[in-house]
A and B are shown apart, each in its own frame.
Chain A
Amino acid sequence: MVGLVIVSHSIGIAEGIKELARQMTPEPVPIAIAAGTNDGRLGTNAEQVTLAINEVYSNEGIIILFDLGSALMSAELALECLPEEKQKNIMILDAAIVEGAITAVVEISLHKNLHEIKEALQDLCIGKIR
């Protein structure tokens, strides 16, 4: 099963999205969050993204969804630090984060692959990655 990583500035937002997404499928889907700074303030952190990736990584790959600005930078930085064979199985996708997470979880639970999930999320793209 593909894994999902939620990168947000806020633990509250990330936990909430996880809770909401979990509601969508009876079958548990691997979801990990990377949210807030190491000292518990609002913000993001590449180290936490790396930990979250490792928490749910499998050869089927990972979808990363993010909220604002530095969340994307932290996700990209974390990705660059991984070995190449892992990197190619990970996609950072531009999507409205709540709707994107729900859609992704449904697709994941249907055992779709990375590219199929990317396609399913295409309509939710809001231009966060240029």
Chain B
Amino acid sequence: MGLTSTQTIIVLKEIGKTIEDNKTLLTELDGAIGDGDHGINMNKGFAAVTKKLDNMESEDIGDIFKTVGMTLVVNVGGASGPLYGTAFMKAAAVVSGKQEIDINDFIKIMDEAIQGIKMRGKAVPGDKTMLDALEPAYNALICAVKEKLTTVDALEKVKEAAFEGAKYTKKIAAKKGRASYLGDRSIGHQDPGATSSYLIINTIYETVKKLKD
């Protein structure tokens, strides 16, 4: 019970819609502790992604992810461009040649994406970055698959963990990115990167749930 190339593209476009709907929220979060452009940057990037996906001819999910990654790198001006771009480009390698992906592929995708983000951003969980949403989400995914939950139930656990992880970033001081210059003054504010990561994961859950109903 997996996702076809067409369904994968639907999920990716839904992510674009979510980002657009939350553009102001992300920019406000970033305005509090960063350079105030996360919403604008992400929206520009994912709008470009949606356009690219409309003209996507290949059904190879590896090609699809690679296109998403490259488009984000070129169209997102802030750190989220190289970070999410690298995540998708690294993930592309593990689904190369596939026209359908399942929850076990999603484990590999998340693993590669997280490794890519760590390599690019040189951050670790606890630095108040997107990793604080992504790493707990990945751990929840591993547990859910071990417990043999259905895909939708597993993804629900994943999005819950991402939500808690993003919320947790309020309690810690930033050690990476523009917010790190604020030190302890960044405490009390939720990290915009962790928030966009949660939004992406939540959209994956919501969209897969709809597709599987």
Residues of A within 8 A of B (CB): 36-39, 41-47, 68-70, 73-74, 76-77, 130
Given contacts A70-B78, A73-B121, contact A42 B178 (CB under 8 A): no
Is there an interface contact between A43 and B177, defined as CB atoms closer than 8 Å? no
A42 and B35 contacting across the interface, CB-CB below 8 Å = yes
- Contact, CB under 8 Å: B73 / A43: no
Q: Which residues of A contact B176 (CB under 8 A)?
A: 69
Question: Quick check: is B41 within 8 A (CB to CB) of the other chain?
Answer: yes
B37 at the interface (CB under 8 A from A): yes
Instruction: Report Cα–Cα, A74/B77, bound state, in Å.
Output: 9
B123 — nearest CB in chain A belongs to which residue? A130
Q: Which of B91-143 contact A (CB under 8 A)?
A: 120-122
Q: Is B83 an interface residue (CB 8 A)?
A: yes
Q: Is the CB–CB distance between A47 and B178 below 8 Å?
A: no
What 8 pairs between A and B have smallest CB-CB spacing? A43-B77, A37-B77, A73-B82, A70-B79, A47-B74, A77-B82, A46-B73, A69-B79
Shortest beta-carbon distance, B73 to chain A, in Å?
Answer: 5
Interface residue total, chain B, C-beta cutoff 8 A: 22
- What is the CB-to-nearest-CB distance from A45 to chain B, in angstroms, rounded to a whole number? 6
Assess whether B77 is in contact with A42, with CB atoms less than 8 Å apart: yes
A73 to chain B: which residues have CB within 8 Å?
Answer: 79, 82-83, 120-121
A103, B176: Cα distance in complex, Å: 28
> Is B81 touching A41 in the complex (CB atoms < 8 A)?
no
Chain B residues, CB < 8 A from A45: 73-74, 77, 81
Q: Does B186 contact A (CB under 8 A)?
A: no
Contact of B77 with A77 in the complex, beta carbons under 8 Å: no
B44 at interface (Cβ–Cβ under 8 A)?
yes
Residue pair B78, A38 in contact (C-beta under 8 Å):
no
A43 near B37: Cβ-Cβ < 8 Å: yes
Contact yes or no, A70 B75, CB < 8 A: no
* B43 at interface by CB-CB < 8 Å: no
Separation of A121 and B191 alpha carbons in the complex (Å): 34
A130 touches B77 (CB 8 A): no
Q: Assess whether B41 is in contact with A43, with CB atoms less than 8 Å apart.
A: yes
| List of A residues within 8 angstroms of B86 by Cβ | 77
